[in-house]
């Protein structure tokens, strides 16, 4: 059925993330192989000889299987020769089988990879990350949360907030704790989930909760003039799922609901230093409309107010 169907945006994004991870993985393995080679044969004197060895010497031969896969993945997402959806899925399956050591036709490669993974922690971590990306079913399920979700949602809200902001030295641990203890307590979230006028959406992959959004219809703010505004109060994903297209799906879900409910403007507050989120919102056509104060514990922070006409 997929025959000749063009590659979907989701699959393309998955291949792009895979290419980034695989290139990083390949570099770590190559560095290891170089070190091993130099131990046995003395230093490689220059980069040209190194290139030649990588391309031709049998010591590096097993790694060519990985670089070949990276080349195929890049080709599949290229503008000139994009793969069909069917070809792209076959490529994902092939990569999975090679990296999971399931390809019994190449025992030599399997042994080499296994040895490299047991020796190098960084390689093993990124290998895990690649396998979880490959296992990830691309179907994101978005549902409205209810009272039974309070505990899971409170936990997710706290975790995603910490992942997003705790590493910024402008946010003190005390302020982070004061804010999250209150805003994301199970009692507070339960209360909001019982409030019919607030919408919480949960995003799940294979039953794993990976992100959420909160919408508040008819919420007003001075700098936004609208007849029927709706506030996008929160939009958060777990760190490891960021940059894979799920933010777009969650945002599109919120925008369609807002349009269905005949709202005319969506608005939101975003921390003045949260550049990544600002760029994300700009991508969807949100524009800066003003600012307001967001109280993080004892710290009055400045949030940009951004709005988008629906």
Ligand X SMILES: CC(C)(COP(=O)(O)OP(=O)(O)OC[C@H]1O[C@@H](n2cnc3c(N)ncnc32)[C@H](O)[C@@H]1OP(=O)(O)O)[C@@H](O)C(=O)NCCC(=O)NCCS
* 7 scored as a contact of ligand X (CB under 6 A): no
Number of residues forming the site for ligand X (CB under 6 A) = 18
Among 8, 100, 188, 274, binds ligand X (CB under 6 A): 274
- In total, the chain counts a number of residues equal to 310
Closest separation in Å from C-beta 138 to ligand X: 12
Among the listed residues 156, 176, 160, the one whose alpha carbon sits nearest the alpha carbon of residue 168: 176
* Contact (CB, 8 A) for 253 and 201: yes
Among 37, 179, 200, 280, binds ligand X (CB under 6 A): 280
Among 37, 201, 247, 267, binds ligand X (CB under 6 A): 247
- b/e map of 23-61 (b: 16 or more CB within 10 Å)? eebbebbbebbbeebeeeeeebeeeeebeebbeeeeebe
Identify which of residues 66 and 251 has a Cβ nearer to ligand X in the complex: 251
Q: Which helix (H) or strand (E) holds 267?
A: strand 265-271
Among 28, 126, 277, 296, binds ligand X (CB under 6 A): 277
* Contact (CB, 8 A) for 270 and 236: no
The encoded tokens of residue 239 equal 């760190």
Identify which of residues 246 and 267 has a Cβ nearer to ligand X in the complex: 246
- Report how far residue 61's alpha carbon sits from residue 197's, in angstroms, rounded to the nearest whole number: 62
The stretch near ligand X (CB under 6 A) out of 47-55, 75-83, 115-123, 242-250 is: 242-250
* 248 scored as a contact of ligand X (CB under 6 A): yes
Quick note: the x/- pattern for ligand X over 207-236, rule CB under 6 A, is ----------------------------xx
In sequence order, what are the residues at sequence separation of 6 or more whose Cβ sits closer than 8 angstroms to the Cβ of residue 184?
Answer: 154, 157, 158, 161
Quick note: the x/- pattern for ligand X over 143-182, rule CB under 6 A, is ---------------------x------------------
* 243 scored as a contact of ligand X (CB under 6 A): yes
* 279 scored as a contact of ligand X (CB under 6 A): yes
Among the listed residues 148, 18, 149, the one whose alpha carbon sits nearest the alpha carbon of residue 91: 18
Q: Which residue has the tokens 């990879």?
A: 113
Identify which of residues 12 and 26 has a Cβ nearer to ligand X in the complex: 12
> Among this protein's residues, is 281 annotated catalytic?
yes
Q: Which residue is nearest to ligand X (CB)?
A: 247
Strand partners, 308: 266
- List the catalytic residues: 281
Which residues of this chain interact with ligand X, rule CB under 6 A? Answer: 164, 235-237, 242-248, 270, 274, 276-277, 279-280, 283
């Amino acid at each position: 059925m997929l025959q000749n169907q063009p590659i979907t945006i989701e699959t393309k994004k998955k291949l792009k993330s895979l290419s980034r991870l695989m290139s990083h993985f390949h570099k770590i393995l190559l560095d290891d192989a170089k070190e091993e080679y130099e131990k046995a044969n003395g230093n490689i004197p220059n980069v040209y000889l190194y290139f030649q060895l990588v391309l031709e010497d049998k010591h590096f031969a097993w790694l060519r299987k990985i670089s070949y896969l990276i080349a195929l993945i890049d080709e599949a997402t290229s503008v000139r020769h994009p793969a069909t959806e069917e070809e792209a899925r076959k490529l994902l399956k092939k990569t999975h089988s090679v990296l999971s050591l399931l390809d019994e036709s190449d025992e030599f490669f399997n042994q080499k990879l296994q040895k490299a993974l047991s020796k190098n922690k960084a390689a093993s971590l990124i290998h895990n990350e690649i396998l979880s990306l490959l296992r990830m079913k691309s179907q994101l399920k978005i549902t409205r949360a209810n009272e039974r979700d309070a505990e899971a949602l409170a936990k997710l809200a706290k975790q995603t907030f910490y992942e997003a902001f705790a590493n910024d030295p402008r946010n003190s641990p005390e302020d982070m704790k004061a804010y999250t203890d209150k805003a994301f307590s199970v009692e507070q979230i339960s209360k909001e989930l019982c409030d019919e006028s607030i919408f919480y959406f949960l995003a799940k992959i294979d039953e794993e909760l990976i992100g959420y959004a909160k919408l508040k219809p008819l919420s007003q703010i001075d700098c936004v003039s609208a007849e029927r505004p709706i506030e996008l109060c929160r939009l958060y994903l777990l760190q490891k799922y960021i940059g894979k297209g799920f933010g777009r799906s969650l945002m599109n879900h919120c925008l369609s609901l807002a349009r269905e409910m005949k709202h005319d403007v969506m608005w939101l507050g975003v921390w003045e230093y949260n550049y990544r989120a600002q760029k994300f919102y700009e991508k969807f056509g949100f524009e800066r409309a003003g600012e307001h104060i967001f109280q993080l514990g004892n710290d009055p922070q400045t949030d940009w107010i951004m709005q988008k006409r629906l």
